[in-house]
């Protein structure tokens, strides 16, 4: 099993990259609303351009690199999962539904038994 070992060092340059990324995100939102007078096409192009620049800046930071490494590790782990076949999934679903039905009947019988015992037998109340 190979896992990537990334040491995160939060330098001033890294913090500046993250701050620049957040600032670019805010600028792209402002550009979206400012370009509202020029039409929807310019609004969306300005927003997408700003978001693209913000993502590129973020991915060059250490936090961005660690996020990419985490995503790659997650994809690698998901590929290792052995998914059940259709028959196995149907069988397990049927077992769950059967168990829920049995528990519902058991709890209903327990409730009715306790109701009879306390209200009719102990207290003598008739409904």
pLDDT in tens, 64-75: 999 999 999 999
Helix (H, G, I), strand (E, B) or coil at 61: coil
- pLDDT for 75 equals 95
Distance separating alpha carbons of residues 42 and 79, to the nearest angstrom: 41
Identify whether residues 50 and 29 lie together within a single domain.
Answer: yes
Q: CB of 57 within 8 A of CB of 21?
A: yes
How many domains does the chain divide into?
2
φ, ψ at 104 (rounded to 5°) = -65, -45
Is 2 within a domain? no
Same domain, 71 and 110: no
Q: Are residues 21 and 74 in the same domain?
A: yes
**Same domain as 118, residue 91:** yes
Q: What is the maximum span of the chain, computed from C-alpha positions, in angstroms?
A: 81
pLDDT digits (tens, 9 = 90+) for 8-25: 556 888 899 999 999 999
Print the domain residue range for 95.
84-127
For residues 55 and 34, membership in a common domain is answered with yes
Confirm if 21 and 61 have CB atoms less than 8 A apart. Answer: yes
Mean predicted confidence (pLDDT) in 51-73:
94
Q: Are residues 49 and 109 in the same domain?
A: no
User: Which has more confidence, 90 or 2?
Assistant: 90
Indicate whether 19 and 70 sit together in one domain: yes
Residue 37 lies in a domain: yes
């Amino acid at each position: 099993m190979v896992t990537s070992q990334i040491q995160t060092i939060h330098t001033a340059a890294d913090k500046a990259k993250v701050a620049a990324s957040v600032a670019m995100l805010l600028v792209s939102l402002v550009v979206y609303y400012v370009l509202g007078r020029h039409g929807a096409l310019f609004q969306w192009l300005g927003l997408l351009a700003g978001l693209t620049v913000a993502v590129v800046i973020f991915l060059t930071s250490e936090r961005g690199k660690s996020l990419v490494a985490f995503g790659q590790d997650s994809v690698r782990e998901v590929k290792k999962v052995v998914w059940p076949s259709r028959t196995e999934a149907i069988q397990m679903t049927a077992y769950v539904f059967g168990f829920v039905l049995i528990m519902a009947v058991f709890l209903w019988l327990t409730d009715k038994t306790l109701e009879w015992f306390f209200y009719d037998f102990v207290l003598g109340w008739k409904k």
